[in-house]
Structure 1
């Protein structure tokens, strides 16, 4: 592994020195340099799970453990890690932040004989990367780049891509260029409202309309544009998008279906579990996923769509029972033409009653078929089943693995979060189901020669494996700013940094300049 870049750790001392100088000394620098000011930041947290499949591999196949220390924590259910006490700077010219975090994470497996520790985790939005010091066998490599980051102004759920160095650290060549878990950087304690004095805020609350002096030093925080945020523009609700009539009104047409009756058609979107699909295709199973019977799969080993729904509904009672056509087969662990994994799910059926319900399927595992296995408990965001233009749409239904299906997927336990379920059912023959279910590729198969996954070995490989017990990898699309900048126009401090930076800027006055930028050298 190439030796990483070592950055100076003198930031805290530099910030303290700048604060001690006070506004009087800083004013001598001159207001003309204010545009290049670096505002100190502190009290930030960084949350990142590395990669969900890697966490599950360590906890299952490798029989290993994650041990956060020095203030770092891990979310319940083998979740993501949070590093604390983030300090650094906001640079107002390029609108970038550079933050270093406290806490360490030890990763160890006695079964596969590896042990490593991550510490001094850093996020630099200018370089758009996460780095960490990596200690193995008593040797520490500084500032190893673990992932590149699709930086957004909000610094929330930013998509990450694992580096070649991360693939070496975590023991899987397949991790190079693979999607990591989303990254969030946020201030732990937002500035308290009101004029309460503190070391981080002016002695009086800044006016909504800054004075001419404050205007020179306190960057504005305009509403983000579409290119500055991952959020979509305001629009109709998910339910309203099912409407395809010529009128923009969400009111049902005069020919609306009755409050209860037979379902005419419908689709069910479900990915089973993203980490399970990855395990089969790109992981240790080295297998493939095949859809049939009218089911489709989204590109890139994505989620499945089952079609041709039949069943009943009652919008007054908020009940729904729908069965769907199509099947999906997971096959892997092949030895001399015999598969250790050969699992088919078909005849999926979803029921909802007051916002809760179940998802069942016929399960054929290695030639043994069991009908009506309750795969998941369902919980919708709302109990209401309102029809729009004779279509009921219920998206983002939480699905949780049941005890009855523990044997279906092997390593998962009851209570594990599965992929969310999306339902759309037509109540009349001429009702138009929403388009754009995201599926492509017809009834083809997702093959897999990828190397992600595996069981490691005596050499200490930490190759990833099957999925985690909670959550998903998560990605954020759109909103990334080229070059790592957190804002593309204006003098915008990123939203999470605004409270701290604005307070400091007002406190030090028009000529305040913090020259505490760490110098970087090549190790």
Structure 2
């Protein structure tokens, strides 16, 4: 019977390589009997880090932004706008309790766009790990202003095992990387902790022990203080005697946990923001208008009830909503209108359907988003069936709506804003407000930057929206320099449209 295997972390693999002499090491410091010296550190050398930062951002810079990407000072970029390799990595592995590794690499990468007025440089890249976790750090220079040693990415080594490279090197391939809380803060809060970045591949070779001179003389150990209280004696007596009777009668009779299904729906509402970073992108130079009873709220938009069928016993819902929301960004050739929203739910899964109109035409009943209903209840409470903040992800058909010039900037599975659905069998039952109103009619985008990337695998959609100036797909927007700290975040963190979310205080 095969034995269960636990994931091997970077530190564990380095320790194994050192112990087994993967680099032809003899380790007298570890072998000496009775040696009480601190566990030694070992050299790490010939390291490389293969990391693309964010694929959608590279595509945006080389595409719609008409910019340049330059890898220098020892860094290299793979052909076809590929990932970057940072070279000549050197550092240490601590064989003590922390098992920490620190590796610094040569090379820098610079992203420049004269049209969108940004100049971003990523340099002095380092990798630090402890156990199964780690971080990628770097200096980020934005339009001449540098922030040093920002933790850009958190690394998860829990399921990454080492492979063998040339000369006995250990290769840790495709380490999952996500944006850190510090990184999100450094990028002006436009991205949230946990944003997915490109995976990283780390290669290191174990070297010789590192000798260090002690900086201070050892001190005599101090005697522990005597306990002031006898641990065997209780410190206090119980203050009250337990009572047999309950202190209060129950205020309400228990219910069976079920109610009659809402056979007839008379009221309803749907709240959805599409994608917060997309709304923010539009706000940099475009406009949003609502019509047909749809309203702007702080979390996005609400759509008026049209009709619905609910079967709580069968766990099925089929609901339709009126109103529309239209996103326009003339300078970037964007004009997209979403209307006739429908929610079809069956058990733990559901679909959000929409009609999408662009300058190329209208596509009806597009299965735009998958809904995760695993945590919702179909049982009405006070006459209302409520699906609150249901997770939504882009479908293949939804991603296809943003295809432009043969490229698909959004990939299926991209996180969208959550959906809130409320259906009532009683008039005036009190439906959720869906957030405070942000005003109607023509206006800029209503949201602030959100947690979703603008393009986990792609960037903000390049949509089927005609126009030579580009489209959502490549995250186009004019980008004045003042808020390009967010662009640095986008450079390292998450894709395209959000790049513009914090870039400008002025319009073009």
TM-score relative to the length of structure 1: 0.45
- Structure with bigger gyration radius: 2
Greater RCO (Cα-Cα under 8 Å, separation 6 or more)? 1
Normalising by structure 2, report the TM-score: 0.46
